[in-house]
Structure 1
Amino acid sequence: MIELGLADGSLIDELMELTAQSINHLEIQEHFNIIKEIGRGKYGKVLLVTHRFRGTPMALKVMPKTSTKLQGFLREYCISLHLSHHPCIVGLFGIAFQSEEHYCFAQELVIGRDLFAVIQPKVGIPESSVKRCVVQISSALEFIHSHGFVHRDIKPENILLLDSQCCQVKLADFGLAQKRGTLIRFVTGTLPYMAPELCTVALLDNQKEVTAAPLSVEPSLDTWAFAVVIFCILTGYFPWEHCMDSDSFYQEFADWCSMTTKPYTEEDVPPLWRRFTPEAMEMFGKLLALDAQKRCTVGEVRAYVDKDWLKKGHENQL
């Protein structure tokens, strides 16, 4: 598997070089009819467009040159294109170009909402829908990892729904994706989805540098984020703000993970986690192992899909 990953990584480097040499200069409105904006973020925006000559509807990701490096654009496009034939990953059309002010590429149009939009605060979504979503996203992540890449931005906003019951979902946005083994010297800020080892290289407010050693990008980062997403969509809230000693909710969970006396009692389980069955807690314990080396792979979640995750009385009925 590692050899395959290295081969894919080299292929991406070649694809990036070829794309850089052949990328066309086009103006968006000369070739596409802009229908409306369907997404916006730090990266730029996503437009619903139709191709002027073929009439094909598609989503056009548009990134300003003022805030996007060519190398970053090429990496996202080439990794996305390389992985896009998986059924649970947003497809690409193989169209990439630059305009006077933007870098752009065209992707499959997914009509529907993202997962974040359907989470009811403090309630979540039905367990059956969660499990359908989890099986599909774990399959997409296993595929990504088998090719030697790490997504690095697993969150509900990047999981697109083709229906409201999560019968078909697709993972999107490879803007942070990198080859496994890439070294990260620092990240800015912290998010609830970031693993503890990633938080050690977070550049916090008023900090100018990070003293921790560079962190190697590994699939275990996605595993952690994936588990936090599962918690969020089952409950409708975050388990913590960030994985640091200063966060009491994280510290409670870390203390539970560090317990040497098993089996534990319900009183040992942190309050936020008491709605889960022992089987679900066993799953979370593997996915959220504090030691990244001991963290299970995303695929292991399938061993728990046939078990109840929420205790009776806590089922989400929307």
Structure 2
Amino acid sequence: MTGEKGEEDEAGLSWDLEDITMEELSEGQAAARALEDVLALSSQALLRAEVEDLYREVRQLGQGRFGRVLLVTHRQRGTAMALKLLSKASTTRQGFLYEFCVGLTLGSHPGIVATYGIGLETQTCYGFLSEPALHGDLIALIQPKRGLPEAAAQLCAQQLSSALEHVHSRGLVYRDLKPENVLVFEPGCRRVKLTDFGHTRPRGTLLRLAGPPIPYTAPELCSPSRRPQGLPIQPSLDAWALGVLLFCLLTGYFPWDQPLAEEDPFYQDFLDWRASGRACDRPAPWGALSPTADRLLGLLLEPQPRLRGPVGSVRAFLGQCWQERAQSPQLAGKGEEREEEEQEEGAE
């Protein structure tokens, strides 16, 4: 199960008030001003030094397109920390400071990785320190075609929905929810936390999709012809991504490759099922889910953003059964049909 983040560009400064109210826009503007204040202070306090002068590298914790994360210890105090290093060749100073400051702003929540107030500039990199996650990220725990045990999936859902609510309460939209950005701090997913805030933006920021959509991309972002000026982003984007992530945790599958009916038959099947409400129209990938999970995901994966349930919808469904204990032979057969279709598409 893989999926790269679809690229999005910040667009102009013209809003369609059908997409955002003045109150929502004001909330986002207040968040932007608060971030600018933190960014100005952090820029002045940036520490200029080489990593090896201050910290001893223990091992690498992760690597991405733009940088890497190291487990380090402070040379004098011995404190273990995670050091994220972003190459100057691919990251601007402003972009680094922005991600650093968003982490500082949000890090008080128990479901968000705590960012320490130390920004670092070396000859080749920018870096900042945070609490270390020694159990990796969520992607390593998801078993293909099986997902996670239900108890672990519900623990993730509870913590991530709370963390996203905190992000939204600060006038921000996270915009990058995927297993790779969920760090595991205790076995069994008893403690997981959101990380990587480079895509987080104030509510109402105009964005347009500049690359191909992925499963986590909400359908409203996939219609650039309707909004050439861009879409004012809303917390409903995170609700959609949370629904897709929960589906992955419970099944080990993506529900679709992209939320475009004309491009993806699995998404079209989902829409047809929603429209008919008939059990016989239930798409094959949903066979491992209980009716309770269907209702929860039906709220989060509502195609109309204004009708979509908030991330906090998860709370009402916790403690109930989300996975069917055994699939019927008919559903198992449908799952095999989907695997065969995917293999044929790959061969083409």
Partner SS, residue 89 of structure 2: coil
Cα distance in 2 for residues equivalent to 1:211 and 1:166: 39
- Correspondent of 1:233 among 244, 249, 262: 249
1:286-301 paired onto structure 2 within 5 Å:
286-301=299-314
**1:60 positional shift:** 0.5
RMSD: 1.9
Please give the per-residue CA displacement for 1:149-197, whole angstroms capped at 9, x wherever unaligned.
Answer: 1111101111111223111111111111111111113332322111112
Shift of 1:210: 10
Deviation at 1:102, TM superposition (A): 0.7
Give the counterpart letter for 1:189 in structure 2: P
Task: Give me the whole-angstrom Cα distance separating, in 2, the residues matched to 1:232 and 1:246.
Answer: 20
TM-score, normalized by length of structure 2?
0.83
**What is the one-letter code of the residue matched to 1:84?**
G
Cα distance in 2 for partners of 1:107, 1:189 equals 32
Match of 1:253 in 2: 270
2:340 is matched with none
Q: Distance in 1 between matches of 2:285 and 2:155?
A: 23
Maintained 8 Å contact 1:266/1:274: no
Q: Give the % identical residues.
A: 42
Deviation digits for residues 265-291 of structure 1, max 9, x if unmatched?
A: 321211211332222211111100101
- Aligned positions, number: 303
CA shift at 1:292, angstroms?
0.8
Separation in 2 of the partners of 1:181 and 1:5? 6
Query: Relative contact order (alpha carbons < 8 A, sep ≥ 6): 1 or 2 greater?
Result: 2
**What is the deviation of 1:198?**
2.1
Q: Hey, what's the Cα distance between the residues in 2 that align with 1:187 and 1:296?
A: 26
For 1:50, which of 34, 48, 73 is the aligned residue? Answer: 73
User: Secondary structure of 1:232's partner?
Assistant: helix
Please state how far the C-alpha of 1:147 moved relative to its aligned partner: 0.5
What is residue 104 of structure 1 aligned with on the other side?
127
Partner of 1:20: 43
Range 179-188 or range 291-300, more displaced: 179-188
- State the distance in 2 between where 1:275 and 1:267 align: 15
The alignment's TM-score, normalised by the length of structure 1, stands at 0.90
Supply the AA of the counterpart residue of 2:266.
Answer: F
| 1:311 lines up with 2:334 in the alignment | no
* C-alpha distance in structure 1 between counterparts of 2:174 and 2:135, whole Å: 22
1:185 counterpart (208, 225, 229): 208
* 1:216 Cα deviation after fit: 1.3
Q: Which runs of 5+ in 1 are unaligned?
A: 202-208
User: 2:27 touches 2:203 (CA, 8 Å); kept in 1?
Assistant: no
1:143-158 matches, within 5 Å, as 143-158=166-181
Q: 8 Å contact 1:88–1:171 — kept in the other structure? A: yes
Match of 1:134 among 134, 157, 160: 157
